[in-house]
Chains A and B, each alone.
Chain A
Amino acid sequence: MLLTTLMIGLVLGGTYALVALGLSMQYGIARIMNLAHGEFMIAAAFCAYVLFNGAGLPPLVTLLIALPLGYGLSWLVYSVMMHPLVKRAPNRGQLEADSILATFGLLFILQGIMLLVFGSDFTSYSYLNHPINLWGTNIAANRLVAFIVSLTLGLGLYVLITRTRWGATLRAVALSPASAPLVGIQVDKVARQAFAIGGSLAAGGGVLVSMFVTFSAAGGVVFTMKALIVVIMGGTGNLMGAIIAGLALGIIETFVTSYIDPGLSLASVYILFIIVLLWRPQGLFGTARS
C-alpha cells in the first residue's frame, strides 16, 4: 500500500518536473518569465494529436520533431519579442514586469489561435494506455514513458550545465548577467539559447503529456501555474531543484489523497509551496540572490 502510493506519487511528480523543466531554463537563465509556457505545451500536444490521428505517427516520433521545432520557434520568439525588451530594461525588475506583460499577451494570442483552429472541445487520444506492473502497482505505460523521458532530459541537461564549459557560461549568465560579459560571455547569445532550449523542453513536455492528459485550447494556464510553483520551489535556474521539487509535490499530493483527504490534495501543494517559500525564499536548492 505504502509502496503503491509512493510509486503513483513519483510518476505524478515526474509529470510535474516535466512540465517545469522548460520554464526553469527560461526563467532561471534567460530571466524571462514566460507566462505562455503552458500554451506552448498545449500547441505541441495538439501537434501530437493531429499527427497521431491524421498520419498515425506515434507521439514518441512526434517528440523528435517537436524538440527541434520548439527550439526554433522559441528562438524566433526571443529574437523578435524578448530581445528588444531585454535590451531596453534598465534592471531586472523592469525586465520581469515587461516580460510578464509581453508573454501574457503571447498567451492570449496563442490561445486565441488554438481556439480558432481546434475549437474549445476536450481533446484526447489513447496511446500506450495499458498498465505496466511494477512491484505490484499498475502504472500506465504512457506515464511511465513520460517519467523516464523527463528524468533523462532533466538529468542530461543538468550534467551538461554542471560539467561542461558551455554549461558554465549558462550558469554565469544565470548568476550574474551584469558581470558575465566581463569574462567574455555573450550574455545575449546564451540567454537566447537558454530560452530556446526551454521552449524545446516545453514542446517535448507537451507531446509527452498529451499521451495521458485530456487537454483543451484554453487549458494552458494550468500547466504554467504548476510549472511556476515547481520552478520557484526548486530554486530558479536549478534544473535538479526543479526535478526534486516536482517529484516531492507529486508524492505529497498522492499521500494526502490516500491517507488524509483527497479534498485537500491541491491545498496541500499550495501549503507546502508557501511553507517552503517562507522558510527558504530562494527555493529548496537555490542560492541566495545577490
Chain B
Amino acid sequence: MVQKLLKPLLIMGGGAGLAAAPVVLSEYALGFMVSVMSYVTLATAWAMFSGPTRYISLATVAFYGTGAYTVAVLSETLPYPLVLLTALAIGVVLAAFVGMATLRLAGIYFVVFSFGLAELVRQLITWFEVNVTGTLGRYIFLPFETQHIYWQLLALAGFTIGLGAWIRRTRLGLAPKVIGDDEVVAAHSGIALARTKVMLFVVSAALMTLAGAIQSPRWVYIEPGIVFNPTVSFLTVIMALLGGAGRLWGPTLGVIPLMVLFEWLSANFPDHFSILLGALFILIVFLLPNGVLSALEGWMKSAKGQSNGKTIEEAQT
C-alpha cells in the first residue's frame, strides 16, 4: 500500500527536481540535459511502437527532421504554438502513410523501408527547396535560451513516458504485445491488428516530430543534410535496445549511461572516439543482451535472492 503511494510521489518529486534543474545546473550541464531529454523522448517513443511489435524502425530521423524543418520554414510567419501544431500535423500525416507500410512489411524489410523513407523525405525536401522555393538552408531565430528548450523537452519527455504508461494499461498496448508474440494468434483473438499498429506508429512518430521541432532553435541553421542525419535514428535504436525496449523505463535507462559515456569519450579520447564506441557496443551486445534494466534486475535478484524471497516478486513487477 505504501509502495503504491510512494511511486507517484517519487515521480512527482523527480519531475519537480528536474524542472528546477536550470537553477542549479551550469549552462553546459543543462545543454547535456537537453540532449538527454531529447533522446529520452525519442527512445521512449520509439519503444512505444517497436518494443511490443518488435519492428525495428530507422525512420526516427524522418520525423525528427521534419519537425525541425517545419519550424525552420514557419518560425517567422506563424506564432510558435501554431508552428508546433503544424509540425505535429505533418508528422501525423507522414506517419499514417508509413504506418500503412507496417501492415505489409516485417523484419528486415521494415528496417530498410524505414531507412529508405528517411532518405526519401530528405531527398524530396531538398528537391522541393531547390526547385520551388529556391532556398536551401534556412535560419531559425527564436528567442529561446537553453533552459526554455530544456523545459519544453522535459515536458515532452514526461508526457511521452506518461503516455507510454497509459498505453500499457489499455487494450491498445496489450494488442501489439500479442502481435509481437504471434501475429496469427493475435488475428484469431479478434484484435484489430491493422488499426492498432498504425495508431501506435502515428503516436510514436508524432512525439518524435515534436522533439525535433522543439530542439531545432538550438541549431540556428537548418539544412536537410543536417537535420536528416541518420545517426539520430541509429542512436535512438541503440539506446532503446540497450535499456530494454519492452519496458516503460527501459529506454530512459539506456539513454542516460550512453549519453554520459559519449560525453566522456568525446572529451577524453577525441581521436579514438569511434574505436572505443564500437568496442563498447560489442561489449554491450555480449554482456547485456536484454538491456540494462533486465540485467540490473537479474543482478538484484541474485543479490537479494538468498535473504528475502518476497522482494524478488516485487522487483519484477
- Contact flag (A, B; Cβ within 8 A): yes
Q: Which A residues are closer than 8 A to B by beta carbons?
A: 27, 33, 81, 84-85, 88, 92-93, 96-98, 100-102, 104-113, 115-116, 221, 225, 228-229, 232, 236, 261, 263-264, 266-267, 270-271, 273-274, 277-278, 281-283, 289
Say whether B120 contacts A105, CB under 8 Å. Answer: no
Count of A-B residue pairs with CB < 8 Å: 127
Say whether B131 contacts A263, CB under 8 Å. Answer: yes
**Residues of chain B contacted by A104 (CB below 8 angstroms):** 234, 238, 278, 281
Which residue of chain B has its CB nearest to the CB of A102?
Answer: B285
Say whether A236 contacts B278, CB under 8 Å. Answer: no
| Assembled-state Cα–Cα distance A277/B114 (Å) | 11
Say whether A277 contacts B238, CB under 8 Å. Answer: no
Say whether B289 contacts A232, CB under 8 Å. Answer: no
**Residues of chain B contacted by A282 (CB below 8 angstroms):** 109
Check if B314 is an interface residue, CB within 8 A of chain A: no
| Assembled-state Cα–Cα distance A289/B271 (Å) | 44
* One of B108, B112, B124, B238 near A101 (C-beta < 8 A): B238
Say whether B285 contacts A281, CB under 8 Å. Answer: no
Residue contacts A-B, CB under 8 angstroms, 23 given: A33-B111, A81-B282, A93-B54, A96-B56, A96-B111, A100-B111, A101-B238, A101-B241, A101-B285, A104-B238, A105-B282, A109-B278, A112-B273, A112-B277, A113-B275, A116-B271, A232-B108, A232-B113, A236-B108, A267-B120, A274-B101, A274-B117, A277-B101
**Residues of chain A contacted by B105 (CB below 8 angstroms):** 277-278, 281
Say whether A232 contacts B109, CB under 8 Å. Answer: yes
**Residues of chain A contacted by B284 (CB below 8 angstroms):** 101, 105
| Assembled-state Cα–Cα distance A96/B108 (Å) | 8
| Assembled-state Cα–Cα distance A281/B113 (Å) | 10
Say whether A97 contacts B241, CB under 8 Å. Answer: yes
| Assembled-state Cα–Cα distance A171/B107 (Å) | 20
Known: A229-B116, A274-B120, A277-B113. A106 touches B278 (CB 8 A): yes
| Assembled-state Cα–Cα distance A236/B271 (Å) | 37
Interface of chain A, helix or strand or loop or mixed? helix
User: How many chain B residues have a CB neighbour from A under 8 Å?
Assistant: 44
**Residues of chain A contacted by B278 (CB below 8 angstroms):** 104-112
**Residues of chain A contacted by B124 (CB below 8 angstroms):** 267
**Residues of chain B contacted by A108 (CB below 8 angstroms):** 274-275, 277-278, 281
Say whether B277 contacts A270, CB under 8 Å. Answer: no
**Residues of chain B contacted by A98 (CB below 8 angstroms):** 285, 289
Check if B192 is an interface residue, CB within 8 A of chain A: no
A256 to chain B, nearest CB (A): 11
Could you mark each residue 101-129 of chain B with 1 if its beta carbon is under 8 Å from any beta carbon of chain A, else 0? 10011111101110111011001101100
A6 to chain B, nearest CB (A): 24
**Residues of chain B contacted by A92 (CB below 8 angstroms):** 107
Which residue of chain A has its CB nearest to the CB of B284?
Answer: A101
**Residues of chain A contacted by B272 (CB below 8 angstroms):** 112, 116
